[in-house]
Amino acid sequence: MSDDMKDFSDELEGLEDGLETIVMTDENGNETTFFVIDEVDYADNRYLLLLEESIAEDEEADAVIFKQVAAEGDELVYEPLNDQEFEKVAKILSERLDDYEITF
């Protein structure tokens, strides 16, 4: 793990209570809670950088990026990115803050 990621992991330990959380339900009805690390609007879409709550303190934890694809009533629908879209959005997120490192 790089020093930047370790530093972010250390910072996250103190910030967890202040981070927004969202619960995502997969196609099988399984719920997973995520911390919202960052979000960005790009090309008329909303993207979230998320870290699964259950592994947030793991130094090897990987964050994920999801794109909002629909709004159904009070619920928002998100999906993972394809490789090309991931590279563009990850670059934007990595330039926004120095608090985390995004590897492609």
**Amino acid 67: pLDDT:** 96
Q: Which among 66, 81, 69 is positioned nearest to 34, based on CA atoms?
A: 66
**Amino acid 98: pLDDT:** 62
Q: Which among 15, 4, 9, 3 is positioned nearest to 94, based on CA atoms?
A: 4
pLDDT under 50: residue ranges of the chain: 1-12, 14-15
pLDDT, tens only, 14-37? 445 678 999 999 889 999 999 998
**Amino acid 60: pLDDT:** 75
